[in-house]
Structure 1
Amino acid sequence: MLIANPIYDVVFKYLMEDAKIAKIMLSSITGENITKLSFLPQEFTTEIDTQSVKKTHKTGLTVYRLDFSAQIQTPEGQKQVIIELQKAKFPTDIIRFRRYLGEQFNDPRNIISKKINKRVRKIGVPIISVYFLGHKLDHTTASAIKVSRQYQDLITNEIIETRESFIESLTLDSYVIQIPYLTQQRRTELEILLSVFDQNNATDVEHHILNVNEAEFPEKYRSIIRKLQQAIQSPEIKKQMQLEDGIIDELQGMDREIEELSVLVEQVKQENEQVKQENEEVKQHAEKERQRADQLSKEKLQTLLRMRAAGLPDADICAFLNINPGELEQMTNFSNDE
């Protein structure tokens, strides 16, 4: 079955803005029993600007973001969390991730009142971050990574099973999907689900279309496949995929230019450092020569004084010191000044 490639922002948005599909996707990735999922206001969600390629440089096209409010069923009961879903294309997008997290922690809408030990307190809603990366991490080749918090008693080294609102409000669990490391292996249901992002299934040079076998997917994932199949029928989505190709090519070209300029700047920096070092060496050499000349002048002056004291004629003194009568007069005047 042919499906639109969800690595594209426009397709990813088309897929994940379906609440039922988003719930299936996020439940499968986090392993949480999400009973209710709703979209939060998307003031910061990146949109593709179809009017001007140049304008997209101001919107941060390389990151697509969706925020959800979720109810999760836990052994202790229902828990409200914020799920922040982001898809990025370049390693440099990490700065935007940090900024978005800061916005979530600072948002007063993410503060709730909760009764704890018979007292009502204001606490931060726990945040779960899910990252879809179109690039590779530096050291880890795992396609799906869970970064989970663990409470541990530092004295006894025992694991603490209970959860504290204070800690939950300030820390978060994260899930990272490295799309380039998705392979043909289908060992778990999660791997089967994530195979819709496997770029090895591309059928065209542009990687707009992927070919998947619907029979390999459990029934609960079939709606995702069908949604992506519908996407390739939309002329507007196809148009925006082509636009995104152009923008990404331009951004990659800019990255290459920046890298080349960085290399040039480093070369100039090294050359300037070398010139600076050479100038310092010349300066030190000149200072040594000056000191040496001063020392020789003092020695000549002392010799002159001794020869004058011995009553030797000026002609013999000039011949001995290898100086002319004018230099002898200057040295004589200098000694008188001293």
Structure 2
Amino acid sequence: MREQRTNLFDKVPCRKMQIANPLYDVVFKHLMEDFEAAKLLISTILGREITVLAPLPQERTLDLEQRSFTVYRLDYAARIQKTDGGFEQVIIEIQKAKFAADIMRFRRYLGNQYQRKNNTFVVRMGGEEIKKPLPIVAIYFLGYRLDHMTAPVIKVARQSYDITTGERLFGEEEFIESLTHDAFIIQIPCLRPDRKTDVEQLLGLFDQRRATSGDEHILEIDEETYPEKYRALIRLLHRAASNTRIKDTMDAEDEILEEFANLERRIGRRDERIEEQDKALREKDRTLEEKDKALTEQSRALAEERRITEALRKRFRESQG
């Protein structure tokens, strides 16, 4: 009997696994409730090790009528300690769909973080305890593309320069650290399929191209293509895919987004009608102005005719006298 050889270049069968879509607030919240998963995700995006992570309660809730559960509007925040002993506050915002008010909402949230009195850490100076503000790092997950940049992960890093010489200045200043911040913007639609870096491999779990047919709540991935260190995150998301409460809340999130989209469309149509009415009024005003101008010219012409007629009459009377 001829021995059957195995071709070393044969493809290894894929281990397809279904996971809950982490771009939904409720799923991301479920993921970040696991300490090790949250620590791994944040440290991978920041590109540096975290020694301590202390999540801070930031979420807002929306109780929907005729529903027995709560929808979370997640604003994740955590205090982290770096390997050098310094502290930072990481804030994470997820925006699945694009709305006109997004940027203002992000600005308000960021402003609130700067104002919160508990976003501080304590140092001892001269035998006294002094509160200092935590430097902030912002991470934005966007389910849509920016207008111009196409990089999947954009790092906005602060750099200081001597304005006279153009020389870059190194070192940390409390004033600068407290009033400016770094940011990471993740464009989910721009994720690349090859996933060359650690952060790209991790963010592959958010790739919306892997959504199953007819159900955006579920992504289908090949577990074998991910490094071992990310398997725990995959298993968490896999379990979430069969969680009834999570699935119901994802349905509610879809309804809310659809309501927002409908509201924005109605506002857009209203603005278009207002603009058309304003345009019609401007056109009417321009027409009236032109008529007024024509009447003024006509009055001026009539006055000139009367003046000429009166002058001719006067001359005629003088010639008769």
Give the TM-score taking structure 2 as reference length.
0.87
One-letter code aligned to 2:98: F
Q: In 2, distance between residues paired with 1:289 and 1:202?
A: 72
Partner of 2:232: 223
Q: Counterpart of 2:65?
A: 51
Q: From the superposition, tell whether residues 179 and 52 of structure 1 become closer, same or farther in structure 2 (CA, over 3 Å).
A: farther
Query: 2: distance between equivalents of 1:117 and 1:14?
Result: 43
Structure 2 contact 99–264 (Cα < 8 Å) conserved: no
SS at match of 1:78: coil
Could you tell me which residue of structure 2 aligns to residue 26 of structure 1? 42
The CA deviation at 1:270 is 1.9
Report the equivalent of 1:245: 254
* 1:139-169 C-alpha deviation (Å, 9 max, x unpaired): 1111111000012222222222211011000
Counterpart of 1:85 in structure 2 is 92
Q: What amino acid maps onto 1:267 in structure 2?
A: E
Amino acid at match of 2:81: Q
Per-residue deviation, 1:122: 5.0
Q: Which structure carries more helix by proportion?
A: 1
Cα displacement (A) at 1:242: 1.4
2:228 counterpart letter in structure 1: E
* CA distance in structure 2 between the aligned counterparts of 1:119 and 1:208, rounded to whole angstroms: 52
Letter in 2 for 1:176: I
Alignment-derived partner of residue 162 in structure 1 = 171
Say if 2:156 is the partner of 1:142: no
Q: Specify whether residues 191 and 255 from structure 1 end up closer, same or farther in structure 2 by C-alpha distance, changes over 3 A only.
A: same
Where do residues 130-209 of structure 1 align in structure 2 (5 Å cutoff)? Answer: 130-209=139-218
- Map 1:1-338; keep pairs closer than 5 Å: 1-42=17-58, 45-51=59-65, 64-73=74-83, 77-88=84-95, 89-92=97-100, 93-114=102-123, 123-311=132-320
**What RMSD in Å do the two structures reach over aligned CA positions?**
2.3
**Structure-2 separation of matches of 1:116 and 1:146:** 34
CA contact (8 A) 1:81 1:126 kept: yes
Cα drift, residue 120 of structure 1 = 7.7
Could you say if the C-alpha distance between residues 238 and 171 of structure 1 is closer, same or farther in structure 2, counting changes exceeding 3 Å? Answer: same
Paired-residue identity, %: 37
Over residues 45-100 of structure 1, what are the superposed CA-to-partner deviations in whole Å (9 max), with x where a residue is unaligned?
Answer: 233534359xx9xx9x7x63111111111xxx211111111101324311111001
User: Alignment partner of 1:207: what SS?
Assistant: strand
Give the 3 Å change call, closer, same or farther, for CA 87–52 of structure 1 in structure 2: farther
Q: Which has the higher contact order (CA 8 A, sep 6+)?
A: 2
Q: Is the 1:129–1:174 Cα contact (8 Å) retained in structure 2? A: yes
Name the CA distance, whole Å, in 1 between partners of 2:122 and 2:162. 28
Please state whether the residue corresponding to 1:109 is helix, strand or coil.
coil
Report the counterpart of residue 322 of structure 1 in structure 2: none
SS at match of 1:285: helix
Q: Within 2, Cα distance between the matches of 1:120 and 1:159?
A: 33
Q: Cα offset for 1:306?
A: 2.0
Structure 1 unaligned regions, length at least 5: 313-338
AA matched with 1:20: E
Gaps of 5+ in 2: 1-16
User: Residues of 1 paired with 2:172 and 2:110: CA distance?
Assistant: 21
Distance 2:129 2:261 in 1: 51
Corresponding residue pairs, total: 301
CA distance in 1, matches of 2:301, 2:176: 71
Q: Is the 8 A contact 2:123 2:129 kept in 1?
A: yes
1:187 CA displacement: 0.9
- Report if the CA contact (8 A) 1:37-1:71 is conserved: yes
Give yes or no for contact 2:26–2:246 (8 Å, CA) kept in 1. yes
The C-alpha deviation readout for 1:111-153, integer Å capped at 9, x for no partner, is: 4454689998653210000000111111111111100001222
Counterparts in 2 of 1:147 and 1:119: CA distance versus 1, 3 Å: farther
Contact 1:50 1:240 in 2 (8 A): no
SS where residue 24 of structure 1 aligns? helix
What code does the residue aligned with 2:26 have?
V
